[in-house]
Structure 1
Amino acid sequence: MLRLVQVNFKAGDDSALGGFWAEALGWKVSSEGPGVTNLEPEGFEWPDPAAFYIDFVKVPDPEAVKYRVHLEFATASAAHQEELVARFRELGATDVDLGQGDVPWTVLADPEGNVFTVAEPRETYRDTGPVAAVVVDCADPRAVSEFWNRALDWTPHEVTDDRAVLRSAEGVGPYLEFRRTDGGPSARSRIHVDLLPDPIDGKAAEVDRLRTLGASDVDLGQGEVPWTVLADPEGNEFCVLGRG
């Protein structure tokens, strides 16, 4: 069994970027070592299955990427959306024009240029927690969502040629959403998801299972580490965590 536990940001300055997000969201900051900043929502301790986490890892060149993965944040009311957007801007976020036009959500970028959206109040996001969805650009939402559905054993909520939406069968945590874009992924993304095996000692078997589903191994020069770096059939990288 695998669980989607967090997103991982490549950062030029993990401490500063993590501090921005922690202050914006009111989350706790910790670190497992130099160059790594961990964020936890208040009231939860890693790896609580009811929570979702964010990690920031310092890398030499976080700019040489295409922004094909982004986070969408939930709000409880129009006033809450306005307040959260204002807070992000006050802390250093900037508005982004992706050609979205007149839409009820707000598109912003954090101080290192990572794009994210603050959604208007939605009933479907009522119980997700602050992170409502991890959104991935792709060429074929149907095909890539089938891989992730089999990988995580999640529930499909919508599957069309242009959009596929999955969520945990337990109804906790964010949605995983795939949106069709021209060309599909062409470069490494700053953001990837991390999966946690349950039990943790089942990691090797889970990695083998993912390979049979179509995942491929990725060499980022990571060397001997407790996690395994893979990519889904469209090249979106992700990690399967292990025992450190």
Structure 2
Amino acid sequence: MKNCIRIESQQLPKSVPSLRKLDDQTWKNCIFSYLLTYYRDTDSQTIQDIIAIERQRPIAEIEKAIKKHIRRWFDNNEKFQYEGFILNNESSSEGVKEGYYDLKFEHSYWNNPKTYFAFECKNLGASRLIDEYVYAESTKKIDGGMYRFFIGKYGITQHFGGMIGFIIEKTNEPIIEKLIEKIISVYVPNSDGELVGGKIARQSIFDNTNTFDSIHARKNISSNINEEFRLHHLIMDFTL
């Protein structure tokens, strides 16, 4: 249940030199804490009402509507603003292929201005939505939320990124298990974004069951050498 979500509050130092010394994991933990707080404190009925309104439109944009709700929550979060975090709403990726991040978190003192934490958001429920989250192939194109991180579209200067899944409809099978099965079946050896040793780290964010990490090999576009890239997955179930 959402009230069992575990959050480890982070306290940032006050001085600029101390902020500049923080490692990536500390910054990421701050962002995880905010995202998990949003999920815990947001009434699922509020999201279901948003979904119902979208489904009445000629073209429903459910994912976009939920992201708008998330951005509004961060805009109104005084602590987030006070600590100097930035949620960039119009951020074009710097990759070799054009793309726009769904959520891009930054801070002026995070190592340097080029460090950021980008998230791709996807709806979850039916098998089709799971494919769109992981990897989807059609006669016209190959795409997928995760796949975009491995083809020079997202986060090419970072060694980590994030996926947020919005469960918007109930299913008979556990969504996270279906996601992991799909990830293992797609990112096999010698593929773009192959899993390193088949690694999936469950309950990776503060030991929450709605989180996991997948560790991949991704080719550096400058050196052409494979480097480790970690995707952090956070699943928000709005059917609870």
Bin the TM-score by the shorter chain. Answer: 0.3 to 0.5
Higher strand share: 1
TM-score by length of 2: 0.33
Structure scoring higher RCO (CA < 8 A, sep ≥ 6) equals 1
TM-score by length of 1: 0.33
